Chains A and B, each alone.
Chain A
């Protein structure tokens, strides 16, 4: 095994580790949606406010997952080391 193969193997492992970042926003978004549904059940007239606030929060929270995805895909498809 030469140096380039080692770099490729380590890049693949790194890409796999970076993809873990995508799990967190999914769990968080699901949790927020569950709590939002509870809130709407308790106070149905606040549905508009709840959805608007959740929409902004969820859109921003997704960014961290996308950052992890970008790192992983750059390691696989546009690796600067080989």
Chain B
């Protein structure tokens, strides 16, 4: 079992749940739900694959020497960036995919990270309107 396996599993689970909710919403809110659903699925799955690739890259990078790790992580980032560029270009060109849905799907991993690690805490909401000076 990998070191970050549990974290990846939790985030992917949240992404899949959010994707399902968005797909169900698309049935009721859109005139043409098929393009939205395909967009969410396409973007969401590529986003998950990119995230898993990032995890594998970092696990391998920390075992290298620092100089080599830097080049390795940057080159792998460019590979993921190229993949994302191809996905967005296809979704904007193709008629059967909704571009906005694909972009939302690609960013679902980030929204899930924010929702799990920031917005899940009640303390975060309590601190929003509190001035730092008042705590002293």
Contact = CB atoms under 8 A, between A and B. Distances in A.
B16 to A, nearest CB: 16
Interface string B55-87: 101110111111101111110011011001100
B54 interface: yes
A39 B74 CA distance: 18
Given A22-B81, A37-B61, A63-B107, A48 B4 contact: yes
Interface in A30-82: 30-41, 47-48, 50-52, 54-56, 58-60, 62-63, 65-66, 69-70, 73-74, 77-78
B61 A36 contact: yes
A16 interface: no
Interface residues of A, number: 38
Contact of A62 (B71, B74, B77, B92): B77
Interface of A: 22, 25-27, 29-41, 47-48, 50-52, 54-56, 58-60, 62-63, 65-66, 69-70, 73-74, 77-78
Interface of B: 3-4, 7-8, 50-51, 54-55, 57-59, 61-67, 69-74, 77-78, 80-81, 84-85, 88-89, 92-93, 99, 103, 106-107, 109-110, 113-114, 117
